[in-house]
Amino acid sequence: MSASIDTSLIGDGLWTNGRDSIKHALDHFSERDRERSDRHHHDKWIILSVHHAAECVCNVRLLELEPAYFVSSRTGAIRFPSLSGTLERLQSEQNLVRLSPAEQKLFLLLTELSDIRHRFMHRTAPEEVDVSIAAMCMIGLLKYIERLKGESASDIVWQSSPIEADVVAAIRYTRLEEYGNFVATFLREKYPDRWLPECPSCGVQAVVFSACEACFTELDHIRCSECDEDVYFVAWERSRGSVSVECQHCGLKQSA
């Protein structure tokens, strides 16, 4: 490997570039469902921005695993592979065994981004766009960079309610079960020694304190009078008065 390569400097540069595209994508997710919004415009830039962010983040990871891959064997110059090239290398036999289950799932899902991205970049734009894959990849990337870089989505774009809720809202209902299984893998790695309650809104075991880390719904809870376990419900329901909730542990219905 060339002695001139500075993996720390290159990694920081890739992350700065990728972080900007993450912010750009999140801004478009936030705007796409607003009144008189040009959804097609937002969906286009969501896909392009998520793809570019993925390329940068994946190159950061590959740089950690295999820095020599970035140095041309012929010229010694530094080169940066495309997302498809990086994903192929990350999923090679020598690197795959070094990836966690969540990383493996994320990198596999990211392979689905390229086709729709190429349609926008190199052909006529499709009339109808399904951004489910881009949204799922965006959540995966956000959870991944929280581990990789220690930054959360709120550090990049802060809003109330969390920006991630707008991202999840873009996932088509036919892929929500797949999304739930996908995000649960990240949560098992994030909380390896903790049992997470099931969210009453999305059904994923993803409740941490008073929020769901899968659908990002704000929750409230009461203590079950029968089994003394916490019973969660959607927080805004209390604004309508008393809430009837069913304990997922013993089945007792009670008021909150």
What pLDDT does residue 160 have? Answer: 82
Q: Which domain holds residue 79?
A: 7-193
Beta-strand relationship, 230-234 and 244-246: unpaired
Residue 143 domain-assigned? Answer: yes
Residue 115 domain-assigned? Answer: yes
Phi, psi angles (nearest 5°) of residue 71 = -110, 125
Asked whether 58 and 26 are in contact (CB, 8 A), the reply is no
The rounded distance, in Å, linking the Cα atoms of 200 and 205 is: 9
Q: Where are the beta strands (DSSP E) in 78-133?
A: none
Residue 148 domain-assigned? Answer: yes
Asked whether 18 and 60 are in contact (CB, 8 A), the reply is yes
What pLDDT does residue 110 have? Answer: 97
The rounded distance, in Å, linking the Cα atoms of 138 and 120 is: 18
Asked whether 164 and 216 are in contact (CB, 8 A), the reply is yes
Q: How many CB atoms lie within 10 A of CB 141?
A: 25
What pLDDT does residue 4 have? Answer: 59
Q: Is 35 exposed, middle or buried (0-12, 13-18, 19+ CB in 10 A)?
A: exposed
Residue 239 domain-assigned? Answer: no
What pLDDT does residue 1 have? Answer: 40
Residue 219 domain-assigned? Answer: no
pTM: 0.91
The pLDDT profile of the chain, 256 residues, written as one tens digit per residue, is 444 578 899 999 999 999 999 999 999 999 998 877 898 899 999 999 999 999 999 999 999 999 999 998 788 789 899 999 999 999 999 999 999 999 999 999 999 999 889 888 877 777 778 999 999 999 999 999 999 899 999 999 998 889 999 999 999 999 999 999 999 999 999 999 999 999 999 999 999 988 999 999 999 988 888 888 888 989 887 777 778 888 888 888 888 7
Residue 224 domain-assigned? Answer: no
Residue 96 domain-assigned? Answer: yes
- Tokens standing for 238? 């209390």
Residue 207 domain-assigned? Answer: no
The count of structural domains within the chain is 1
Give the type of residue at 19. Answer: R
Asked whether 236 and 249 are in contact (CB, 8 A), the reply is no
